[in-house]
């Protein structure tokens, strides 16, 4: 499963999710349950892969 780092726009809570790129758009903040979630990429140590497939 790919990892995505998401940030809540309501409370600025940052969290990671393990899901497909299509499912991450339906995630909610685990802290305030807001659905205003912004993805900040999947940057991680040791991962040199760049370029994500764009959908939609
Ligand atoms: Zn939140």
- Tell me the residues surrounding ligand 1 (ion) with CB < 5 Å: 8, 10-11, 13, 29, 31-32, 34
In which domain, by residue range, is 16 found? Answer: 3-39
* Per-residue pLDDT, 56: 59
In a domain, 53, yes or no: no
What's the 49 CA to ligand 1 centre distance in angstroms? 29
Q: Do 6 and 16 contact (CB within 8 A), yes or no?
A: yes
pTM of the model: 0.60
* Per-residue pLDDT, 7: 92
* Per-residue pLDDT, 3: 81
In a domain, 47, yes or no: no
In a domain, 44, yes or no: no
Total domains present in the chain: 1
CA-CA distances (angstroms) from residue 37 to 18, 27, 47, 49? Answer: 15, 7, 23, 23
In a domain, 33, yes or no: yes
What's the 23 CA to ligand 1 centre distance in angstroms? 18
Nearest one of 39, 42, 40 to 27, comparing CA atoms = 39
pLDDT values of the chain reduced to their tens digit, one per residue, 56 residues = 678 888 999 999 999 888 776 665 678 899 999 999 888 865 555 444 555 666 65
Q: Do 13 and 7 contact (CB within 8 A), yes or no?
A: yes
CA-CA distances (angstroms) from residue 39 to 4, 16? Answer: 7, 10
In a domain, 21, yes or no: yes
In a domain, 32, yes or no: yes
In a domain, 49, yes or no: no
What's the 28 CA to ligand 1 centre distance in angstroms? 8
What's the 35 CA to ligand 1 centre distance in angstroms? 8
* Per-residue pLDDT, 16: 87
């Amino acid at each position: 499963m790919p990892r995505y780092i998401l940030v809540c726009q309501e409370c600025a809570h940052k969290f990671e999710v393990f899901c497909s790129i299509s499912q991450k758009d339906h995630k909610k903040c685990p802290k305030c349950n807001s659905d205003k979630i912004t993805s900040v990429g999947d940057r991680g140590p040791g991962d040199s892969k760049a370029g994500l497939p764009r959908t939609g």
